[in-house]
Amino acid sequence: MAEINILKTDARGRITLPSAFRKEPLFEYAIKGDQIILYPVRTIRKYPDMSDLPTEELSPEEAEKEKRVNTDTRPGIKAATPAEAIKKTRK
C-alpha cells in the first residue's frame, strides 16, 4: 500500500505543505472523489525537452495557411452564441 500522509489545516484553514514541497511555486491539482491530489509543476514539465522529436516539414499550402492565421490581427468577437457572433461581424 502506498504511503499516506494527511495534511492538517491550521486555525485559519491554511495547509502547511511538507518541507519537500515548500519551495515549489506552482501546483497542478486533481480532484478525485473527496480528495485533492497536488502535483508540483516543475520547469521540466513546463518546458519539456523536445530535441528527440522528429521534425515535420509542412507543405507549401499548409505553411501559407499557418502564416495567414498567425498574422491575423482582427479583434476578437464577444458573443454568447454563434448567431450573435455572425450578427456582430455583419455590423
pLDDT band at 11 (very low <50, low <70, confident <90, very high): confident
5-19, 23-37, 58-72 — which one is most confidently predicted on average?
Answer: 58-72
| Half-sphere exposure (Cβ direction) of 21: Cα atoms closer than 13 Å | 12
Q: Give the pLDDT mean for 21-50.
A: 75
Contact 41, 29 (CB under 8 A): no
Could you read off the pLDDT of 62-87 as tens digits, one per residue? 999 999 988 988 888 889 999 999 99
Quote the mean pLDDT of the chain: 80
Q: Please name which of 22, 19, 25 lies closest in space to residue 42, comparing C-alpha atoms.
A: 25
In a domain, 61, yes or no: no
In a domain, 2, yes or no: yes
The domain in which residue 28 lies consists of 1-49
| Number of structural domains in the chain | 1
In a domain, 86, yes or no: no
**How confident is the model at residue 1, as a pLDDT?**
45
Q: Is 47 left (phi over 0), alpha (psi -120 to 50) or beta?
A: beta
In a domain, 43, yes or no: yes
Q: Percent of the chain having pLDDT more than 70?
A: 86
In a domain, 1, yes or no: yes
